[in-house]
Structure 1
Amino acid sequence: MNPFKKLGFLWSYSLLAVILAGYYVGDSPWTWAGAFYVYCVVPLLDFLAGRDRSNISRDAFEATLTDRYFDVLLYSSVYLQYGLLLWGCYVLTTDPLTTIQKVRLMINIGLFSGTIINVAHELGHRSSRIAQFHARMALLSVSYMHFLIEHNRGHHVHVATPADPATARKNQTLYAFWRQSLVGSYRSAWQIEKKRLMKSGHSGWSRHNDMIWFTILPVLLCAALMAGFSGWAGRLVWLVPVFFVVQSFVAILLLESINYIEHYGITRREVAPGRYERVNPLHSWNASELISNLVLFQLQRHSDHHAYASRPYQVLRHFDESPQLPSGYPTMILLALVPPLWFRVMNPRLERWQQRACSADEIAAVVRQFA
């Protein structure tokens, strides 16, 4: 891999640095620093840096795949997330902030927490116990542990079909999709877990049910944070559980906004009743903006991820044949918040993709040469 791009993945730490710097640099805490960076600075940097359509060479593939540097970035982010949670609890307990500053700080930390779901997403596709443990710890911090079940065993199976709650339909607003995905994904995770337990001979309400633990553990973490900081401060710090809930809520909505963008309107062909063509790089929107991809561990190369889910982030590839977003995720999220504007920009692109979809077999044959 190009050494400059390899070092560029240090951008994944940039949002955390901006949140802390914004708080401590200057006479008054600038608690909007994170949001300003994500939705103003990163889109500008994307525009200036342009797109990165380069793919890892065959010669460099194995060395890049096994380079521990890329794992260190992921695992360290999980610990930094917990450090940020503790810091947020400390600041809200001790510093004389106004109500609006407190709300802004909670939202900004929630933005970083949203990127931690992306880290959990990457680690959750790995089979090692260490990776699975860190994925669960990351999702615990944002009260979204069922994502590990639904994403791997639900979403990746049913993506781009009516059975997938995380696939947005054409002309569906982001706000309607939030309701669909939040409720549908949680319900789906319960169903998937119950089926697993039935096959292993366990009751759906036994201690072996991960969904029970995934529901309880965030409550226990929130209670532990409140008890710890209340005991330390010598008073009931009600802001701690409020902070935990708000940052979790912001992170979850950020994730679901990205789900909306990644799969808006995309459908797989039904080859037989209830059976669909195999997922390939045509079945999700792709974006190759350089800076936002470095910040997000190349999550925007989503087409390759869905075609080859076990492929680590550092070797994900760009495919010209995939449907392409007009910009990176930060810009597209802002666009999605205004449905008429979103439909005006994305529906023509979706319709062009639908016209091309009839040649999916031909394009899939081209893609296979990269497998």
Structure 2
Amino acid sequence: MDYLRYYLNCLLPLAAIAGFVLGGHWVWLGIGTLPLLILADALSPQDYAPRRIANGALADVVIYVQMLLVLGTFVAFAWRAHVGFDPALGPVLPWLASALALIWIGLVANVGAAHELMHRHNPLAAFIGKLGFAVIGAPNRDISHTVTHHLYFDTERDFDTAHRGESVYRFVPRCIWGNTRDEIEYERRRLAAQGHGLWHWKSQILWGLVLSAAMLAGMYWAGGLPALLVQAAAMVGGRILGEALNYLQHFGLLRVPGRPIEDRHTWNHLSAVTRILGLEITNHVEHHQDPDRPFYALTPRPQGPQMRNILLWGIAAFFPPIWTRLIQPRLKDWDLNHATAEEQALAREANRRAGWPDWLGESPASAEVARVA
């Protein structure tokens, strides 16, 4: 069962592919899995069981199957755009349904597998991972993720760590701009050490742009300007929503650079559905402690900070008052009961800048009441 459970992820792109192949009103099938998955995740119990997988090569098959189906979804759309949609659907709706399906599949069915491949050390896996991120407009995300985020998460230096009091609407552009700048600067330094400029043929930045341009050109060839615009929407929408999910992963958590990575330093999402959907990246802290540890070997840490259902939390993030009411009690508990003295000093300053209550400045008696509560 532990080998098979991850194949449930394949149902999402299969539904989208079927919708494009069948045509007509079936083109809504791709995005139609969204409410079903939100409901399934909301009703899903917490799952703290380790996976019993002895054959890593057999477990890895699902990653490649999943990526093949995700990329196949974009090919199926290109084919449908080429042969045409049912005229009865009108000039707009089928393209809208296609854009929503590609954004949804490019994000939820894709990112967990692409992220896993990003961390692998063989060139084919790394390229497929890069291709997976290219479909959501982030072909060089592997650079900033592995070079910046894994070194500096939970600190001011990391653009993937959302600050207390920062809305998702402020975080997403800051994250995209900061990580893009980091990617360019890292590649500039790497190539300069070899005596090359940024636009040398070995540049990952250059090849990332070529990959994205090739995808757009392929869609234009297949279905003209409307197909190109849908692909562009999939890239822009996928990147924005991808960073919005990224907003949840470290929101408000703090770490002193150079200190050991402990269970308290990441949010974990451990519902049964979320663990499958994210290919266990939701067992978050162990991934940071050992980025080379394969997905099936990551073990849940229920003692770490928890966000129960990632899809519902992701929706809440777009409503800042609701988000603040949800996240503040959890960060208050983190500050009072989990943070070290150094982290509490950072937290008190972060709360001041966010305009949040100074619960770390409460009297010892009131702090004790908060711990009991």
Q: For the residues of structure 2 that align with 1:359 and 1:140, how far apart are their CA atoms?
A: 39
Aligned to 2:322: 341
Find out whether 1:253 has 2:240 as its counterpart: yes
Alignment-mate amino acid for residue 109 of structure 1: L
Query: Distance in 2 between the 1:132 and 1:24 partners?
Result: 30
Closer, same or farther in 2 for the Cα pair 1:329/1:198, shift >3 Å? Answer: same
Q: Is the 8 A contact 2:172 2:244 kept in 1?
A: yes
Deviations along 1:330-357, one digit per CA (max 9) or x if unpaired, are 1111111111101100111012112233
Task: Say if 1:281 and 1:306, in contact at 8 Å, map to a contact too.
Answer: no
Cα distance in 2 for partners of 1:358, 1:160 equals 12
- Measured at CA, do residues 28 and 104 of structure 1 come closer, stay the same or move farther in structure 2, by a change above 3 Å? closer
Q: CA RMSD in A?
A: 2.3
Deviations 1:102-155 (A, max 9, x none): 212211221111132332211111111221121122223333111011111111
SS of match in other structure, 1:257: helix
TM-score, normalised via structure 2 length: 0.83
Give distance in 1, aligned partners of 2:24 and 2:66.
29
In structure 1, which of residues 64, 74, 83 is the aligned counterpart of residue 63 of structure 2?
74
Give how far 1:26 is off: 10
Contact 2:66/2:113 (8 A) holds in 1: yes
Partners in 1 of 2:76 and 2:121 — Cα distance?
32
Q: Distance in 1 between matches of 2:179 and 2:8?
A: 30
- Give the counterpart letter for 1:16 in structure 2: P
Change (3 A) 1:140 1:347: same
User: Aligned pairs, how many?
Assistant: 337
CA distance in 2, matches of 1:210, 1:281: 34
2:137 is paired with a residue whose SS is coil
The answer for unaligned runs of 5 or more in structure 1 is 231-236, 270-274, 362-371
Partner of 1:358: helix, strand, or coil? coil
Identity percentage of aligned residues: 22
Specify the alignment match of 1:29 in structure 2.
26
- In structure 2, give the amino acid aligned to 1:53: Y
Distance, in Å, in 2 between the alignment partners of 1:146 and 1:110 is 18
Give the equivalent residue in structure 1 for 2:354.
none
**3-state SS of paired residue (2:339):** helix
- TM-score after normalising by structure 1: 0.84
Q: Is the 8 A contact 1:111 1:250 kept in 2?
A: no
Q: Aligned partners of 1:7 and 1:208: how far apart in 2?
A: 39
Q: Structure 1, residues 53-109: CA drift from partner, whole Å, max 9, x if none?
A: 1124xxx56x1xx43232111112222222211211222331134313321221122
Unaligned runs of 5+ in 2: 343-373
- Alpha-carbon distance between aligned partners in 1 of 2:8 and 2:165, rounded to the nearest angstrom: 34
- Relative to structure 1, the CA distance from residue 141 to residue 46 in structure 2 (aligned partners, 3 Å threshold; closer, same or farther) is closer
Among 193, 196, 201, which residue is 1:207 paired with?
201
Aligned to 1:19: 16
Aligned ranges 1:1-371 → 2 under 5 Å: 3=1, 5-21=2-18, 28-29=25-26, 31=28, 33-38=29-34, 40-56=35-51, 60=52, 63=54, 66-93=55-82, 94-96=84-86, 97-98=89-90, 99-114=92-107, 115-227=109-221, 229=222, 237-269=224-256, 275-325=257-307, 327-359=308-340
Question: Which letter does structure 2 place at the counterpart of 1:178?
Answer: V
